Amino acid sequence: MSDIGLRELQDLMRRMYLPRDVERGVEGTFMWLMEEVGELAASLRTGDIENLHEEFADVLAWLATIANVMNVDLARAVREKYGHGCPGCGTIPCTCSEDEKP
């Protein structure tokens, strides 16, 4: 299987789960995302590489799911915000000072 881009991931999640996701709503879906972020945090602490792969995938999948429920095109959103460099300083790599949030 080849790499999956953001648009492909979002479409895959839409085709697999959209009716269920819409029924659950953004609040319920957000709670699932937060659970997965917690599981990712636990995997980062343990350093379990196999589990890290699964948890990163789950976090991305749930983020794409929320975007689908809210009708947000993730690829477009990322391109518009980060496609021309750091949103703070406008450069690649970022040259913002450490105390700034880029």
Q: What's the pLDDT score for residue 99? A: 87
Cβ neighbours, 10 Å, residue 69: 21
In a domain, 20, yes or no: yes
Predicted confidence (pLDDT) at residue 32 exceeds the cutoff of 70: yes
In a domain, 101, yes or no: no
If residue 86 lies in a helix (H) or strand (E), which one and from where to where? none
Cβ neighbours, 10 Å, residue 46: 9
For the chain, give me the number of helices (H) and strands (E)? Answer: 3, 0
Q: What is the pLDDT of residues 58-93, one digit of tens each?
A: 999 999 999 999 999 999 999 999 999 999 999 999
Q: What's the pLDDT score for residue 2? A: 86
Percentage of the chain beyond pLDDT 70 is 98
In a domain, 1, yes or no: no
In a domain, 44, yes or no: yes
Q: What's the pLDDT score for residue 102? A: 65
In a domain, 102, yes or no: no
In a domain, 29, yes or no: yes
In a domain, 76, yes or no: no
Q: What is the pTM of this model?
A: 0.89
First to last CA, the chain: 34
- Count of domains observed in the chain: 1
Predicted confidence (pLDDT) at residue 101 exceeds the cutoff of 90: no
Distance CA(63)–CA(34), nearest Å, equals 10
Cβ neighbours, 10 Å, residue 50: 8
